[in-house]
Amino acid sequence: MPRVFYSSRHGGVSRNPFDSFNLGTHVGDEIESVRQNREILRANLCLTSLAFMNQRHGADISVIAEPAQANLIPDADALMTNQKGIGLAVMVADCVPLLLAAEGWVAAVHVGRVGLMSNIVESVLRKFYDLGDAARDAWIGPHICQECYEVDSNMYRELTASRPLLATTDEKHCLNLKAPIVDVLVGQGVRVHDLSRCTVETDDLFSYRRDGMTGRFAGVIAL
């Protein structure tokens, strides 16, 4: 089995409002603090290297097929590797940090509303097949829950028309991100391990919806 880990907002060196274990370089935190936090995470997980991506809320996939590529930071919303000792990190503060494992490959996937509608989960599962493997296990980490992810009524109707499992109630028009992800995974025969907590309701986690200016925690997977 691969190593799977979800960080919290504690244990780093960043100052308020990014206190203290912010892993995102794009949120206004001091870059040196983020660098130190990323190194703390890599060292604590005993990884050779820890790969990040510039997440774009899209469906692009970057494959790390040799150790040197782990130092690159691609524009993507999914990382995959077959290299042992390389951790793949997906940063979130409300979106779903999805981790996937096959026999010889692992993936870290950023699944927000836009990525879900762009079929990023389906794309990553197809990529496993293209690489000669098939995803067997998935871990769904902390993200905004269906009680807290309220959108305007027009967006709600548009999105739920395409993805009915996003729906909750017309009165509150909140979105359930987890349900359609689980549906896709189970439909492909993937075992789902639900490690989710609501980011908005959990003070130990960063939440953009709750706090606005805030940090990012991460899901990490490694062979």
Q: In CATH, what class is 3-222?
A: alpha beta
Over the stretch 121-152, which tens digit does the pLDDT of each residue have?
A: 999 999 999 999 999 999 999 999 999 999 99
Q: By C-alpha distance, which of 140, 149, 153 is closest to 201? A: 149
pTM: 0.96
Average pLDDT over residues 187-196: 97
What is the Cα–Cα distance from 223 to 121, expressed in whole angstroms? 20
**pLDDT given for residue 6 in this prediction:** 98
Give the residue extent of every domain in the chain. Answer: 3-222
Kind and range of the H or E element at 36?
A: helix 31-44
Could you tell me the two tokens for 21? 């274990």
Query: Side chain identity at 119, as an amino acid letter?
Result: N
Q: Strands of 217-222's sheet, edge to edge?
A: 3-6, 217-222, 86-92, 49-51
Helix axes 120-130, 178-187, angle to 10 degrees: 30
Examine the pLDDT at 170 and tell me if it is beyond 90: no
Could you tell me the two tokens for 92? 């979130």
What is the Cα–Cα distance from 108 to 7, expressed in whole angstroms? 14
Kind and range of the H or E element at 185?
A: helix 178-187
What is the Cα–Cα distance from 148 to 151, expressed in whole angstroms? 9
Over the stretch 20-53, which tens digit does the pLDDT of each residue have?
A: 999 999 999 999 999 999 999 999 999 999 999 9
How many CB atoms neighbour CB 76 within 10 A?
20
- What band does 68 get if pLDDT is binned at 50, 70 and 90? confident
